[in-house]
C-alpha cells in the first residue's frame, strides 16, 4: 500500500495502521518496510474488539489458501518476521469518513484475507468523490 500513498493522499484520505506491538516494535516495522503511515499501538486489542474483528481458528491459520498466499509472498521477497501479539487475531480494513462514520468494512476471514490496494482506492474514490 505504501506505493499507492500518493493516490490515497490525492483523495484526501489517511492510511492508519493498527498493531498489537509496542511503539518500539511499530517503529521497527515502519522502518523495515519503509512505511509512510501512522501506526497505532493496541496491545490490549481495544480497537480490534471495538470493531468486532474475528479470531482465527486452526483452519484459518493453516489452510491451503494461507499456504499458497505465503508462498506468493515469499516469491515476492517478503520474509515473515516473528509474530507480535495474538496470532489468532484476524485483521480488518475500514474506510472512515471525516464524521467518523465507517463507510467500508472488510473483516478478514483468514490470516491471508486482505483487500487489495486497488480495491481500497476504488472504494475510497467512490466514497470521497461523491458529489465532488
The Cα–Cα gap between 45 and 50 comes to 9
CATH topology of domain 2-126: Glutaredoxin (3.40.30)
Tens digit of pLDDT for each residue in 70-102? 667 667 766 666 666 788 899 999 999 889 999
Give the pLDDT band (50/70/90) at residue 132.
very low
Reported pTM: 0.76
Residue 16 has a pLDDT of 92
User: What pLDDT is stored for residue 79 in this prediction?
Assistant: 63
pLDDT for position 110: 83
At residue 18, the 3 state secondary structure works out as: strand
Residue 60's SS3 state is: helix
Cα distance between residue 14 and residue 108, in whole Å: 21
CA dihedral 13, 128, 107, 26 (to 10 degrees): 0
Q: What ranges do the domains of the chain cover?
A: 2-126
- Check: CB of residue 115 under 8 Å from CB of residue 106: yes
Q: What's the burial of 99, exposed, middle or buried (CB within 10 Å: 0-12/13-18/19+)?
A: exposed
Tens-digit pLDDT profile for residues 7-49: 988 988 889 999 999 999 999 988 988 889 999 999 999 999 9
Amino acid at each position: 500500500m505504501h506505493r499507492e500513498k500518493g493516490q490515497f493522499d490525492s483523495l484526501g484520505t489517511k492510511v492508519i495502521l493498527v498493531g498489537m506491538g509496542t511503539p518500539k516494535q511499530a517503529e521497527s516495522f515502519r522502518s523495515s518496510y519503509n512505511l509512510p503511515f501512522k501506526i497505532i499501538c493496541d496491545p490490549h486489542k481495544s480497537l480490534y474488539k471495538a470493531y468486532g474483528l474475528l479470531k482465527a481458528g486452526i483452519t484459518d491459520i493453516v489452510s491451503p489458501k494461507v499456504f499458497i498466499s505465503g508462498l506468493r509472498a515469499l516469491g515476492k521477497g517478503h520474509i515473515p518476521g516473528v509474530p507480535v501479539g495474538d496470532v489468532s487475531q484476524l485483521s480488518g480494513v475500514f474506510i472512515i469518513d471525516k464524521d467518523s462514520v465507517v463507510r467500508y468494512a472488510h473483516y478478514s476471514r483468514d490470516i491471508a484475507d486482505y483487500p487489495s490496494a486497488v480495491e481500497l482506492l476504488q472504494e475510497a474514490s467512490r466514497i470521497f468523490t461523491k458529489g465532488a
